Amino acid sequence: MKTRILGVVAAVVVLIAAAVGYGLYSRDRGPGVNAVAVVSGQPVSVQAKGQLLFRNTAEGPDFGHLATVPADSPGQPRKVAGLSCDRFAASAGTALCLAAQPGVLPPVTDVIVLDKDLNEIRRVELPGTPSRGRVSPDGRLVYWTLFVNGDSYAETGFSTRAGILDLSSGQLLKSVEEMALFLDGKQYYSSDVNYWGITFAADGKKFYATVGTKGKTYLVEADYEKFSANMIRENVECPSLSPDGKRIAFKKRVSADLAAPWRLAVLDLASGRETLLAETRSVDDQAAWLDDRTVAYGLESGIWAVPADGSGAAREVVQRGSSPAGV
């Protein structure tokens, strides 16, 4: 028995040593030099027109930092700021940075609001993992979607919380879930309702979002002041309203295949007509409108753009980047 216990102790020592060794090795694995050309130390303003802001995901010391390139020549070396975010968005001189607190479990996200020169003006700590973040066209509202453990309908489930921070009143709405929800004119109740992917109209009152319930997704049109929402269409996920407010870019579920469930599509709100875009791969991102004709999205570790009318072809705009925001 004694030799057996000694054997077990020896095995434990070896395995723990292997685990610690691997952890230390992982620590040093990141390269000390940026994998792409980078310009640092210059001021970044989110208000300067004609630029594409994004999260730099090229290996190196500036991994995860906010970066920017001129929209008309995105191949130029990226200018990086010190700000580190998991999701980034900007509009009308306001920036939103969602950053998961490193190594904190259960996960906690810092929702950080910044002014045009990236000075922090508000910070809120919320439980969960960052998923989507956006700023309203007028820069007065910021909103986000976080994943949260443990409060979903399913036993082991995972759910989302979409929240809104109103910068003009300072009011923080941690979850829009309490909002009255209507389907075909009748109030809809279900304990498994989840909201994600908020997108506001230019008036700062009307907004759209995805509702997920009982395995289906719906587009809702909501009134921020009345705090109520109507389900208006099925199978619309992660909506993004065009700058002219007439169309919504979204993810449409086109396949039951787990590996490639979605296609990017654009919905014309007036006619209800849907157009699949020229990107044929499955996109899992909330699209961002660069202007009224083009949407950008993250795919296969790069940022891509495709015409919003279904014509043309997808092209890679920035290699190794995510969370595109055109300003």
Name the residue nearer to other proteins (CB basis): 33 or 154.
154
User: Which of 70, 77, 82, 157: binder of other proteins (CB under 8 A)?
Assistant: 157
Name the residue nearer to other proteins (CB basis): 153 or 227.
153
Position 48 contacts other proteins (CB under 8 A): no
Computed over its alpha carbons, how large is the radius of gyration of the chain? 22
Name the residue nearer to other proteins (CB basis): 7 or 75.
7
Pairing mode of beta strands 228-234, 180-183: parallel
Please report, as residue ranges, which positions from 199 to 238 form the binding site for other proteins (by CB under 8 A): 210, 212, 217, 237-238
Shortest distance, CB of residue 286 to other proteins, whole angstroms? Answer: 8
Position 33 contacts other proteins (CB under 8 A): no
What the block records as the tokens of 250 is 């979204």
Name the residue nearer to other proteins (CB basis): 207 or 250.
250
Calpha distance 79→93 (Å, rounded) = 18
Calpha distance 79→56 (Å, rounded) = 10
Name the residue nearer to other proteins (CB basis): 75 or 106.
106
Give the C-alpha distances (Å, rounded to integers) separating 149 from 108, 152, 209, 225. 11, 7, 21, 29
Calpha distance 152→155 (Å, rounded) = 7
User: Which of 117, 120, 234, 284: binder of other proteins (CB under 8 A)?
Assistant: 284
Shortest distance, CB of residue 270 to other proteins, whole angstroms? Answer: 27
Please, what sign has the CA dihedral across residues 290, 294, 300, 302? Answer: negative
Segment near other proteins (CB under 8 A), from 110-118, 158-166, 225-233, 267-275? 158-166
Position 108 contacts other proteins (CB under 8 A): yes
Name the residue nearer to other proteins (CB basis): 151 or 291.
151
Position 154 contacts other proteins (CB under 8 A): yes
Position 104 contacts other proteins (CB under 8 A): yes
Q: Is 245 exposed, middle or buried, given 0-12, 13-18 or 19+ CB atoms closer than 10 A?
A: middle
Position 32 contacts other proteins (CB under 8 A): no
Beta-carbon contacts of residue 98 (< 8 Å; ≥ 6 apart): 85, 86, 87, 88, 109, 110, 111, 112, 130, 133, 144, 146
Shortest distance, CB of residue 158 to other proteins, whole angstroms? Answer: 5
Give the C-alpha distances (Å, rounded to integers) separating 244 from 137, 199, 203, 268. 10, 13, 11, 11
Please report, as residue ranges, which positions from 243 to 282 form the binding site for other proteins (by CB under 8 A): 251, 253, 258-259, 261
Position 26 contacts other proteins (CB under 8 A): yes
Binding residues for other proteins (CB under 8 A): 4-5, 7-8, 11-12, 15-16, 18-20, 22-24, 26-27, 29-30, 86, 100, 102-108, 125-127, 129-131, 145, 147-160, 174, 189-192, 194, 196, 210, 212, 217, 237-238, 251, 253, 258-259, 261, 284-285, 298, 322
